[in-house]
A and B are shown apart, each in its own frame.
Chain A
Amino acid sequence: ETGVTQTPRHLVMGMTNKKSLKCEQHLGHNAMYWYKQSAKKPLELMFVYNFKEQTENNSVPSRFSPECPNSSHLFLHLHTLQPEDSALYLCASSHSGGLDYGYTFGSGTRLTVV
């Protein structure tokens, strides 16, 4: 276990469904992130939360809606997704200031949109 837990590990959903991805960190970090990883592409930053305030939205479509109720929990609410949204969604956390140790990633949710 890395200290960052993501659920579910796998998710298959139809284009009309609504689902949520959950991330929880037990590392005392105060910044949390959502990344998308598609085949043959680099990890794409989606959202950044710092002390539970959103500080970055990297032009993500509104069908992805993040929520950060506290510094330990992060959600990604999904609705009316498209097949091209199928990917590995990774949550990560870090300390806010200074980055000597990089991020710690969760194991990811592998999402398939049918």
Chain B
Amino acid sequence: RKEVEQDPGPFNVPEGATVAFNCTYSNSASQSFFWYRQDCRKEPKLLMSVYSSGNEDGRFTAQLNRASQYISLLIRDSKLSDSATYLCVTYIGTGGGNKLTFGTGTQLKVEL
């Protein structure tokens, strides 16, 4: 079983739509969670951290359910510029540098 599982997509949505991505993780010791965004042939960039209470950053809302080991990302009012691959990421502190584990990513294509 993969440590972090995501639906690879692609999710093709019209501009202005709301889209949600889900992610599950297998290691219950995971301490922190993130969503990263990766544009085609570019490096991943941190989109937002995910907190147990849920958190929002503009059009983006992230949720964490520790009991179900489930993370979600909601994007409202999609823009063409949101087209990218969204990576679900978990963190376990190892005491010697931090170890992030990445999912394979979910591809989003926002269309006119």
Interface, chain A (partner B; CB < 8 A): 2, 31, 33, 40-43, 45, 48-50, 53, 55-56, 90, 94, 96-97, 99-108, 110
A42 touches B104 (CB 8 A): yes
Complex: A41 Cα to B100 Cα, angstroms:
15
Of the candidates A43, A99, A100, the one whose C-beta lies within 8 Å of that of B93 is A99
Q: Knowing A43-B102, A55-B96, A96-B98, say if A102 contacts B43 (CB, 8 Å).
A: no
Given contacts A56-B94, A56-B96, contact A41 B104 (CB under 8 A): yes
- Taking CB atoms and an 8 Å cut-off, the chain B residues in 4-62 that contact chain A are 4, 8, 32, 34, 36, 41-46, 49
Is B43's CB under 8 angstroms from A106's CB? yes
Cβ–Cβ contact B97 & A102, under 8 A:
no
Q: Give B96's nearest chain A residue, CB to CB.
A: A55
Closest 10 CB pairs of A and B: A55-B96, A50-B97, A105-B43, A31-B97, A48-B97, A43-B102, A102-B46, A42-B102, A42-B104, A50-B96
- Interface size on B, as a range, is 20 to 34
> How far, in whole Å, are A95 and B103 apart by their CA atoms in the complex?
22
Of the candidates A33, A107, A110, the one whose C-beta lies within 8 Å of that of B97 is A33
Which A residues are CB-close (under 8 A) to B91? Answer: 99, 102
Indicate whether B64 reaches chain A with its CB closer than 8 angstroms: no
